[in-house]
Amino acid sequence: MKKRYFIPACVLVVAAIGFIIYAVGHPELSFQWSIQITHILYGLYVDAVVLLFVLAFWKKTDSAYILVVILELGAVFFLVQSMLTVFPEGESNWYLPLALGLNCVALLLNAIQRRKQKKEDERKA
């Protein structure tokens, strides 16, 4: 376990719990921007926490895998946003194409990484 990632992840979880406790006690407060921006910020926060926990227990040293994990977290976030957001009639759902695009890029990077690994294994054999 890498403490340089684990400690900030724990601090962010404690801060989130504190924020939720405060928000439940003060329902009259709100942010000045739209609810979509708030949901995006919450999702990015959760993605950052999950990424820090993944990095804390990450065994592989290859940074390409970390990039794939980041892209997949973003894809999951935007996919959930597309399911939870109700768009007014005539407004397009831009979350879903963004999620699919991030997923495609992650799959492409993963395929490239596997091809490199296969070539290295063939050279060793």
Query: What's the rounded mean pLDDT across residues 27-43?
Result: 81
**For residue 62, what pLDDT is reported?**
63
* Residues of the chain above pLDDT 70, percent: 96
The set of residues, in sequence order, having a beta carbon less than 8 Å from that of 94 and lying 6+ positions away, is none
Total number of domains in the chain: 1
Task: Tell me the per-residue pLDDT of 3-25, one tens digit each, with 9 for 90 and over.
Answer: 888 899 899 999 999 998 998 88
Query: What's the rounded mean pLDDT across residues 108-125?
Result: 86
- Structural domain range at position 13: 3-124
DSSP state of 94: -
Residue in 108, 10, 100 with CA at minimum distance from that of residue 57:
10
* Residues of the chain above pLDDT 90, percent: 11
**For residue 87, what pLDDT is reported?**
73
Q: Are 84 and 51 in contact (CB under 8 A)?
A: no
> Which pair of tokens denotes residue 47?
């993605």
Task: Tell me the per-residue pLDDT of 40-85, one tens digit each, with 9 for 90 and over.
Answer: 788 788 888 888 888 888 776 666 677 777 888 888 888 887 777 7
**For residue 63, what pLDDT is reported?**
67
Which region among 5-14, 87-96, 104-113 has the lowest average model confidence (pLDDT)? 87-96
**101 — alpha (psi -120 to 50), left (phi > 0) or beta?**
alpha
